[in-house]
Amino acid sequence: MTVFPLKFRPDENGTVLFADDAGGYFRSDADFLDRYANDCLSLPDESFLKANGHSFDHRDDLSYAAFAYRWARRLYAPTPLDYLILVPTLRCNLACGYCQVSRVNEGTPGFDWDEETLAAVLRYVDGLTTTRMKIEFQGGEPLLQLDILQRVRSFCRERFQVAEFVVCTNLQTVSAEAWEFLAAPDTFISTSLDADAQTHQRQRTITPEKTAHFASNLRSAIDRFGSDKVSALPTLDIRSLPSPGAVVNSFTSFGFRSIYLRPVNYQGFARKRFAAKDTTAEWNAYHSSFIDFLVEHNWTAELPIEEYYFVHCLRRVLQSRHNGHTDLRNPNILGEGYLVVDYDGTVFPTDEARMVTRIGQFDFGMGNIKTGIDRSKLDPLNAESSNNFHPDCVHCPYQAYCGTDLVDDLSRYGRIDMPKHLTDFCQRHMHIFDKIFEMIYSADVKVQKTVAIWAGLPEFEPALAKVHQ
């Protein structure tokens, strides 16, 4: 029999996690690693590997075909473009501390789509082959351009069989007309809720009046539309992290059950203030304690809570084809499945790319929606966008579940060939996957309950924690 290549990672207790390129995993020990590396597998070793999809006998047998299938399914293949992020204005009625680079004041002229840009966007959309479309309105504050939102939405509703719209709004000032716009069943709200009222005020709304107004609008949105139509994301400042309890209380008070923890994305000069490595370790520790808090919470709570990104990674461990998060894909092909159109018509491959370009670090512009999209700039990036044969990733047991984010690497380090283990992306994900496996293999019933809930199961199944003695 031939064994499919295994990657390994020991933990501090002497157990070793093994995984293959298709994402199949098991735990064993250093002795097994020795036998495997030295080509001295015992009969029980061979029997275990065969029974668990880690080997094949002949190239045309079922084991080989099944492995090839599972391996191929781990790869992301972009669909014809069916998702657009539109930035019709950079004007905003708030001045959040961490948003210095992607906003201008509400009254500033020259930072909105003109008629020509709108027409070019609609022409572009009209030429697409997809029958389904998702449009995400960003900014600035998109509701300041309600007219453009309405026109884009009307067009897409006519043009596509299925169309979905997300408005990323600060919910600070919502006119009656805007409420009506947001009420439609195909339109969803995404807003920021930075932990608790105190943190939200410090980072975003500044005054108690504005904070209260925001809270009232948010509550209004949920009461009118239900919490399925509204999602809220917290942005957390590493220098001043709120307690997990404060975040959970705040979110559950609005009926939210999914919390996506995102650290503030410091750009350029702000990043130099904090050594990237220290920040990552600190963030990882906080994130870990947050997960632990949720495990306790979910043990007794009537309605369990999830940390969105952790659950996304857990699902990627257990299953293939979980490619819903644009920053965690392998290969992470840019400029195909979705695009960003800026206030002046400039086209970018991702929102982060738009921001990195704005601060003058790199130019990710792919041309202008009015004059033509040029993808050639992305070719060198796309050529490096898979982790399968990266000299660091090829040895990593998490490779099949992980991905690449070259825009993030460029924005932080100015290059895409940093040793992976020195990048924030790798350190964050190693930490997340370490914790995921720690939880999968935990004998603690509280942990098992949360793992089951987050994996979408009625109950935890011990067979998920495969061990080879």
Partner 1 sequence: MIDLRLKVDPLPISEPLVVRLCDTAHPSPSENDAHLVRRDAGSREYDIWGFSLTVYVSGSEELDGDLLLILPRQPSAHRLIRANSKHNTLLITEQCDQLCVMCSQPPKKHHADLFDEFAIAAKLAPRDAYIGISGGEPMLHKQRLFEFLADVCASRQDLRFHILTNGQHFEASDLGLMDSIGLDRILWGIPLYASRPDIHDQIVGKAGAFAQLKDSLAMLTRLGASVELRTVVMKQNWNDLPQLANFIINQTPFISVWALMQMERIGYGRMNWDKSFQDTSIDFRHLKSAINLAKAKGIPVSMYNFPLCTVPANYRSMAPSTISDWKRKYLDLCQKCSARSTCGGFFEWYSPSEGFVGLGAL
Partner 2 sequence: MSTEQMLYIDVQPAFLQFVPDVISRFGYLHPGLRVTGQAPVVIFLNGTHDRAAIERDFRFCLFRQKIYAETLSLRSTLIDGVMGR
The residues of the shown chain that bind partner 1, judged by CB under 8 A, are 24, 51-53, 60-66, 69-70, 73, 318-321, 452, 455-464
Q: Of partner 1, partner 2, none, which one does residue 461 interact with (CB within 5 to 8 Å by kind)?
A: partner 1
Task: Say if CB 307 and CB 313 are below 8 A apart.
Answer: no
Q: Minimum distance between the CB of residue 134 and partner 1, rounded to whole angstroms? A: 23
Nearer to partner 1, 9 or 73 (CB): 73
Nearer to partner 2, 74 or 297 (CB): 74
The CA distance from 5 to 334, in Å, is 29
Q: Minimum distance between the CB of residue 406 and partner 1, rounded to whole angstroms? A: 28
CA 23, 28, 30: angle at the middle one, nearest 5?
Answer: 120
For residue 136, with 0-12 CB atoms within 10 Å meaning exposed, 13-18 middle and 19 or more buried, which class applies?
A: buried
Nearer to partner 2, 107 or 391 (CB): 391
Q: Minimum distance between the CB of residue 56 and partner 1, rounded to whole angstroms? A: 10
Q: Minimum distance between the CB of residue 160 and partner 1, rounded to whole angstroms? A: 22
Q: Of partner 1, partner 2, none, which one does residue 463 interact with (CB within 5 to 8 Å by kind)?
A: partner 1
DSSP symbols for 115-137: HHHHHHHHHHHHT---SEEEEEE
DSSP reduced 3-state for 317:
helix
Q: Minimum distance between the CB of residue 68 and partner 2, rounded to whole angstroms? A: 6
CA 118, 370, 329: angle at the middle one, nearest 5?
Answer: 90
Nearer to partner 2, 7 or 210 (CB): 7
Nearer to partner 2, 212 or 394 (CB): 394
Nearer to partner 2, 53 or 255 (CB): 53
Q: Of partner 2, partner 1, none, which one does residue 5 interact with (CB within 5 to 8 Å by kind)?
A: partner 2
Q: Minimum distance between the CB of residue 397 and partner 2, rounded to whole angstroms? A: 11
The CA distance from 308 to 290, in Å, is 12
Nearer to partner 1, 67 or 425 (CB): 67
Task: Say if CB 26 and CB 466 are below 8 A apart.
Answer: yes
Instruction: Compute how many other C-beta atoms are within 10 angstroms of the C-beta atom of residue 308.
Output: 15
DSSP symbols for 235-264: EE-TTSPPPHHHHHHHHHHTT--EE--EE-
Nearer to partner 1, 34 or 461 (CB): 461
DSSP reduced 3-state for 344:
coil
Q: Minimum distance between the CB of residue 438 and partner 2, rounded to whole angstroms? A: 20
List the structure tokens of 52.
């668990």
Task: Say if CB 84 and CB 349 are below 8 A apart.
Answer: no
Q: Of partner 1, partner 2, none, which one does residue 53 interact with (CB within 5 to 8 Å by kind)?
A: partner 1
Q: Of partner 2, partner 1, none, which one does residue 208 interact with (CB within 5 to 8 Å by kind)?
A: none
Q: Minimum distance between the CB of residue 241 and partner 2, rounded to whole angstroms? A: 31
> Could you list the residues that contact partner 2 (CB under 8 A)?
2, 4-8, 21, 33, 36-39, 59, 67-68, 71-72, 391, 394-395, 419, 421
Q: Of partner 2, partner 1, none, which one does residue 459 interact with (CB within 5 to 8 Å by kind)?
A: partner 1
Q: Of partner 2, partner 1, none, which one does residue 21 interact with (CB within 5 to 8 Å by kind)?
A: partner 2
Task: Say if CB 193 and CB 184 are below 8 A apart.
Answer: no
List the structure tokens of 273.
């203030």
Beta bridge partners, 146, equal none
Q: Minimum distance between the CB of residue 23 and partner 1, rounded to whole angstroms? A: 10
Task: Say if CB 3 and CB 41 are below 8 A apart.
Answer: yes
DSSP symbols for 162-179: EEEEEEE---SS--HHHH
For residue 255, with 0-12 CB atoms within 10 Å meaning exposed, 13-18 middle and 19 or more buried, which class applies?
A: middle
Q: Of partner 1, partner 2, none, which one does residue 385 interact with (CB within 5 to 8 Å by kind)?
A: none
Q: Of partner 2, partner 1, none, which one does residue 458 interact with (CB within 5 to 8 Å by kind)?
A: partner 1
Q: Of partner 2, partner 1, none, which one does residue 37 interact with (CB within 5 to 8 Å by kind)?
A: partner 2
List the structure tokens of 285.
């520790």
Nearer to partner 1, 181 or 310 (CB): 310
Q: Minimum distance between the CB of residue 465 and partner 1, rounded to whole angstroms? A: 11
